[in-house]
Amino acid sequence: MNKKKRMEIFQRLRNEDPAPTTELKFASNFELLISVMLSAQATDVSVNKATAKLYKVANSPEAIKNLGVTKLKKYIKTIGLFNTKAANIIKTCTLLIEKHDSQVPRTREDLEALPGVGRKTANVVLNTAFREVAMAVDTHIFRLSNRTGIAPGKNVLEVEKRLLKFVPDEFLLDAHHWLILHGRYVCVARKPRCGACMIEDLCEFKSKSVD
């Protein structure tokens, strides 16, 4: 795909949604971090339902640490991998208190040093909380990047690097959100809704077949 096509794609996405953001509900950088940790292999809807109750009783590193693993599990038991996530969240809260003055760090190195925080989670926090250019490639963005031809790659890291290279600079800050929302609601996995897609004429997905 050439530069002109990519420019047009992101211009259309921006025109449709000038200020995109995550669908996770949060009121602080800490809440965002915990929600993103919980969202791995889970839907934003399921995370929001759980955190709506959790954050009413505990929305700081100290408060969640004081809950302990057992009580935390009761709030997040509807979310996949809740046992592992609960353990990692308590450990992360402890590190935030001990090493970061209870604040969410704003460097990739410090974020990825937190238990349960990988590259994708760090990218979401850097981009959404601190408004830094970062590209969190999930299954939606990986599929969309390959299917459309925007930034094809064999793995998520390759796609991430190509998106950072090929997405026009003026769109880089919000590209993650546009792509994930388009992949979640339009360019879906099994039957992409090509007829309802605003970039269908620019897309390199020729077969219109089921993946």
Cα–Cα distance, 145 to 183 (Å, whole number)? 9
Please enumerate in sequence order all residues whose Cβ is within 8 A of that of 127, keeping only pairs 6 or more positions apart, or say none.
133, 134, 135, 136, 173, 176
**Residue 66 falls in which region: left (phi positive, over 0), alpha (psi -120 to 50) or beta:** alpha
Q: What element of type H or E holds 75?
A: helix 61-76
Say which of 138, 154, 169, 174 is annotated catalytic: 138
Asked about 44 being catalytic, the answer comes back as no
> What does the alpha-carbon distance between residue 108 and residue 23 come to, in Å, rounded to a whole number?
22
In the residue annotation, 138 being an active-site residue is answered as yes
Instruction: Choose the catalytic residue: 25, 73, 85, 120.
Output: 120
Contacting residues for 86 by C-beta, under 8 A, at least 6 apart: 69, 72, 73, 76
Catalytic residues, by residue number, are 120, 138
